[in-house]
Amino acid sequence: MTPELKAGRLVLRSLQPGDAPAIHRLINDWSVVRMLSRLPFPYPRELAEQWIDSTRRDSAQGSAHHFAITRDGALLGAIALVLSDDRRSGSLGYWLAPTEWGQGLTTQAGQRVVEWGLTVLRLEKITADAAQDNVASAAVLGKLGFVKTGTSSRRFVSRGQDCPIDLFELPRATFLAKTQEPVEVSAPPPAEVTPVVAEPPKPRTLLVVAAALLDAKGRILLAKRPEGKRLAGLWEFPGGKVERDETPEQALIREMREELGLDLTGACLAPFTFVSENAGPFHLLMPLYVVRRWRGVPTPREGQTLEWVAAADLGRYAMPDPDLPLIPLLQELLG
């Protein structure tokens, strides 16, 4: 089903039958509909109702996800991600009421939908297109990281003619490389010091610790990252960064207290395995500890969703790439 996503003040939610009047009013505008290839002009009210019904069927089937772009409850436009038959790629489309143009809202909504599609749905790429006279849409796609891959033509029903379009693409690998956590940059040398040879910066090692908390039934606790955080919607093993002058064990005890309200002092923190992965601008090193004893009841203190999951079911949860190699190891341990 289509989830509710947040992007700043914007709330992206599934379309509802009650949205038909607003959809009809906003989209029945020549400046909007002329850029949408499949829609007629004028745009009849019953077509809005039929379209909303179709988006809800698509959502239930998982073939497409259409979001109403809203702010403070008011509908401003729509954005959609239509999936390919094999669910390996998607196509992005959007429109916004003219009264809201020029505020960066389409870019804001697009960033959230693209991130969700490439991380939670794990699409290999997202494509998009825009009429060549739709300069604003092409600019939005550029800000989102899309690259032009070619040109084509398509019939625009409202214009009654074929129009040239530009084709764009954003691969998942490109998106992930540009959205890694920022790396600390050393201060530049004094102006009077000029290095003879400028060496490329060396990747910094980012040390992150994680825990596989096991209950009496052998289930593992997963935490879903909340809206507003990087990689929102993904499930992960609880944990976090190891701060300066901390050992991994000290960091794990602190993170479990801050995130979940658990006391791991005196508990057995059993080192299990680790992940060592090149993550572009930094190298990720993440030790995983198995924890079977603690004091307290896991409580989401940072807006995350918690769920106890059987080891055999871990593969059903969308997780960050570094967590994926840990799944078969935990399944073997608990199998």
DSSP β-ladder status, 204-213 and 269-278: unpaired
pLDDT of residue 204: 82
Q: 314 near 220, Cβ under 8 Å?
A: yes
Residue in the block written with tokens 């400028």: 198
Backbone angles phi, psi at 90, to 5 degrees: -145, 165
The contacts found for 38-46 with CB under 8 angstroms, 24 or more apart, are 38/157, 39/157, 39/158, 40/157, 40/158, 41/157, 41/158, 45/20, 45/21
Helices (H), ranges, the chain = 20-27, 30-33, 45-61, 105-115, 135-143, 172-178, 248-260, 326-334
Backbone angles phi, psi at 39, to 5 degrees: -100, 140
Over its length of 335 residues, how does the chain's per-residue pLDDT go in tens digits? 899 999 999 999 999 999 999 999 999 999 999 999 999 999 999 999 999 999 999 999 999 999 999 999 999 999 999 999 999 999 999 999 999 999 999 999 999 999 999 999 999 999 999 999 999 999 999 999 999 999 999 999 999 999 999 999 999 999 988 765 543 333 444 445 455 555 555 668 899 999 999 999 999 999 999 998 888 999 999 999 999 989 999 999 999 999 999 999 877 899 999 999 887 677 889 999 999 999 999 999 999 999 999 999 999 999 998 899 999 999 999 98
Neighbours of 53 (CB within 10 A): 13
Of the candidates 321, 283, 276, the residue with the CA atom closest to the CA atom of residue 206: 283
For the chain, the domains span 5-178, 204-334
Residue 322: which residues within 8 A CB-CB, separation 6 or more? Answer: 275, 277, 279, 284, 286
Strand, helix or coil at 114?
helix
Q: 58 near 64, Cβ under 8 Å?
A: yes
Q: How far apart are alpha carbons 325 and 333 in whole angstroms? A: 13
Of the candidates 51, 55, 49, 48, the residue with the CA atom closest to the CA atom of residue 1: 55
Protein fold of 5-178: Aminopeptidase (3.40.630)
pLDDT of residue 184: 39
Two structure tokens written together for 158 = 């409202």
CATH top-level class for 204-334? alpha beta
pLDDT of residue 182: 44
Beta-carbon-side half-sphere exposure of residue 177 (alpha carbons within 13 Å)? 7
Read off the amino acid at residue 146: F
Q: How far apart are alpha carbons 66 and 23 in whole angstroms? A: 13
Same topology, domains 5-178 and 204-334? Answer is: no
Q: 155 near 267, Cβ under 8 Å?
A: no
Q: At 306, which helix (H) or strand (E)?
A: strand 305-309
In this prediction the pTM is 0.83
